[in-house]
Structure 1
Amino acid sequence: MKIVRELEIFIRTAKTGSLSEAARLLDLTPAATSAAVKRLEEELKTTLFVRSTRSLRLTPAGQLFLDQCEPAVQMIMDACQAAQSGDTVLRGILQISLPSDFGRNIVLPWLDEFQNQYPQIKLRVAMSDRLADLFREQVDLALRYGSLPDSNMVALSIAPNNRRILCAAPSYLDRRGIPSTLEDLANHNCLCFMLGEYVYDHWRFDLNGQEVSIQVQGDRVSLDGDAVRRWALAGFGIAYKSQLDVAEDIRCGRLIQVCPEWLGEAAPLNLLCANRRQVSPVVQALQLFLQQKCVELIQT
């Protein structure tokens, strides 16, 4: 459907603010993208973008058109996919943002398996511990830990019972010993990560139904969760990581769970999307696939 394709080009151009970037995402040439936008403006008899040599932004009419056409185009594309596949073949492009540690070390191999099951699905993957802005950035989905940050977003549950756990390498525990109380953590090198602009150095636990917080300190802090895991593996200190991040390391003995009787902070894993209309058959298949893989990971 030519008009739907041209509307998709318009939406991508508006979201990225760049004809060349929209072309790259849609596997088109910049010239073809520019021509499609011009045809759409001629059809509507209005200007959708204000252009300069260095920037591209929506006109008021363009913004109004984007707000109205984006959900309609998504519904049409979903309907076309269902009709073409007969609800048996899943196809399409998934643009997904993954957390650096869990994404790089665990989810990427899972996605290889997912694409083997559904070879008509194409993936565009970004790695970041920062929460992607699903309304502005070139991602459709974000796999993230924690509670829903924006009430306008939709959270598809992947691992609702996941928690943070204390862990360290055997070499570190041989040198420094195992803490016997929460207060003992003050005498250990604790490997911290950043939450937004702040160092997450108040570690919370549930002890017999009572929430307890302990401030920790150490000689290493990182914005990247994978760096914290690597420091722990190298024996530099104790980390407070998602169980999913380190389940395989613990199973293989590279890390040891420290004081498992201390119930760590809840860290539910969710697949986030901007609105319910994005929960297509492809996204539903990915949700079910990731749910099953997380259960298998924790049980092994």
Structure 2
Amino acid sequence: MLDNLLAWRAFLAVAKTGAISVAARLLDLDSAAVSHMVAEIEQALGYALFDRSKRPFKLTPRGRVVADTVNPLSSGLLDLRELFDEDTNSFITVAAPTDPNQCYLHDQLFQYSLEHPGVHFYLRSACSVEDVLSGRIDIALIDCPIASPELVIRFCIQAVAVPLASRGYVERCGEPKTIEDLKNHTGLLLRQGMHQRTSYLYDSAGEISPALKWKNVFMTDAQLTLNHMMLEGLGIVVDCVPQHLLPQLESGEVVPVLRGWRRKPQEFSIVTRRDREGLSDELHAFALWWCRKEKEAARERTRKADALLFSLFGKG
């Protein structure tokens, strides 16, 4: 709450008017919303900002210090926001899972902004379809988004993962030869967006495995966290795509296990809100570019990973 500009504007409006209702009218907000924001600031600070025993409300001594401190900052931030609002530059809020976010997407967006000087990006971590529908996110890479007439959904990636472990883990704990052997191992599992915990694997013919049963389980929504834990020898991953671990696979630091089994592919699409894309040429152009770029890049990453895994499988 302390980083919420609107909440501080609500506090300053109450300090100026002495009344929640008047402050709410000035800000075009509900009185309950203004009261709630001020109360949350007080809770975060740990002390009261207003003496509510009288009408109009009066600032407490601490409240006066806070108001004197915040007022110039709030005015400056409003001036800055107005400057950006008047700017002809376009800001596109982009969201994607942490692995593409940190591995390559930031480079793609940076290059795009260099080629399109009027477009800038705010890159965020993974989001839900609801974030796109609400307008909090302009465009997102989402796993299996639910179809909606309000959305434009462009399929672009099928992410295939195989069970992997560090060589150190295999040397220390042994290599599972069958699905049943996993009961003696630690599973490092992903739960993210529409992707629930992986409970089954599939062979090349599409046959489903018995349910995966582990000795211990660690679960997170960040694939890169799983990568790091696996590299530290803490367990076996079944959700990490090999494309993000090519150097470690080539060096032998990471090895495939349970050969012939793989997780059901995740299907990612680029998603925008239909009305918002229709009103923004910049967003429409970027959505087409990102989908094309990601399809091309994903094909190349997959080709390299498949060739490497084939060579590793061939070595037995």
Structure 2 residue corresponding to 1:182, chosen from 167, 175, 179: 179
Q: Secondary structure at the match of 2:164?
A: strand
> Are the aligned partners of 2:239 and 2:263 in contact in 1 as well (CA < 8 Å)?
no
Check 1:109–1:213 CA distance in 2 against 1; reply closer, same or farther (3 A cut). farther
Shift, 1:238, TM fit = 0.5
Report the counterpart of residue 292 of structure 1 in structure 2.
296
> Are the aligned partners of 1:132 and 1:142 in contact in 2 as well (CA < 8 Å)?
no
Q: Distance in 2 between matches of 1:168 and 1:194?
A: 19
**TM-score (normalizing by structure 2):** 0.59
Check 1:289–1:92 CA distance in 2 against 1; reply closer, same or farther (3 A cut). farther
Q: What is the number of residues matched between the two proteins?
A: 223
Q: Secondary structure at the match of 1:205?
A: coil
- For residues 81-119 of structure 1, what are the alpha-carbon distances to aligned partners after superposition, in whole Å with 9 as ceiling and x for unaligned? xxx9xxxxxx74321111123322332233233333333
Unaligned runs of 5+ in 1: 1-17, 22-46, 57-83, 85-90
Q: Distance in 1 between matches of 2:254 and 2:130?
A: 30
Check 1:53–1:252 CA distance in 2 against 1; reply closer, same or farther (3 A cut). farther
Within a 5 Å distance, the mapping from 1:109-120 to structure 2 comes to 109-120=107-118
Shift, 1:237, TM fit = 0.7
- For residues 137-187 of structure 1, what are the alpha-carbon distances to aligned partners after superposition, in whole Å with 9 as ceiling and x for unaligned? 521111123x23343433212223x21221111111122232211111222
Q: Distance in 1 between matches of 2:30 and 2:191?
A: 38
> Are the aligned partners of 1:144 and 1:270 in contact in 2 as well (CA < 8 Å)?
yes
Shift, 1:271, TM fit = 1.0
Report the counterpart of residue 51 of structure 1 in structure 2.
29
Within a 5 Å distance, the mapping from 1:1-300 to structure 2 comes to 20=6, 50-52=28-30, 55=33, 92-128=90-126, 133-145=131-143, 147-152=144-149, 153-160=151-158, 162-195=159-192, 200-206=197-203, 208-217=205-214, 218-243=216-241, 246-248=244-246, 249-251=248-250, 253-275=252-274, 278=277, 280-300=284-304
Q: Which moved more, 1:92-101 or 1:111-120?
A: 111-120
Aligned-CA RMSD value: 3.4
> Are the aligned partners of 1:205 and 1:213 in contact in 2 as well (CA < 8 Å)?
no
| Max Rg structure | 2
* One-letter amino acid of the counterpart of residue 284, structure 1: L
> Are the aligned partners of 1:96 and 1:139 in contact in 2 as well (CA < 8 Å)?
yes
Report the counterpart of residue 73 of structure 1 in structure 2.
none
> Are the aligned partners of 2:200 and 2:208 in contact in 1 as well (CA < 8 Å)?
no
More helix by share: 2
Shift, 1:226, TM fit = 2.4
Q: Which moved more, 1:247-256 or 1:209-218?
A: 247-256
> Are the aligned partners of 1:97 and 1:132 in contact in 2 as well (CA < 8 Å)?
no
Q: Distance in 2 between matches of 1:156 and 1:105?
A: 21
Report the counterpart of residue 42 of structure 2 in structure 1.
none
- For residues 248-285 of structure 1, what are the alpha-carbon distances to aligned partners after superposition, in whole Å with 9 as ceiling and x for unaligned? 34345442232342132111221122227627122101
- For residues 120-145 of structure 1, what are the alpha-carbon distances to aligned partners after superposition, in whole Å with 9 as ceiling and x for unaligned? 32101111365552112521111123
Q: Distance in 2 between matches of 1:172 and 1:188?
A: 10
Q: Secondary structure at the match of 1:101?
A: helix
> Are the aligned partners of 1:96 and 1:125 in contact in 2 as well (CA < 8 Å)?
yes
Check 1:148–1:219 CA distance in 2 against 1; reply closer, same or farther (3 A cut). closer
* One-letter amino acid of the counterpart of residue 191, structure 1: L
Check 1:116–1:244 CA distance in 2 against 1; reply closer, same or farther (3 A cut). farther
Q: Distance in 2 between matches of 1:255 and 1:131?
A: 34
Q: Secondary structure at the match of 1:115?
A: helix
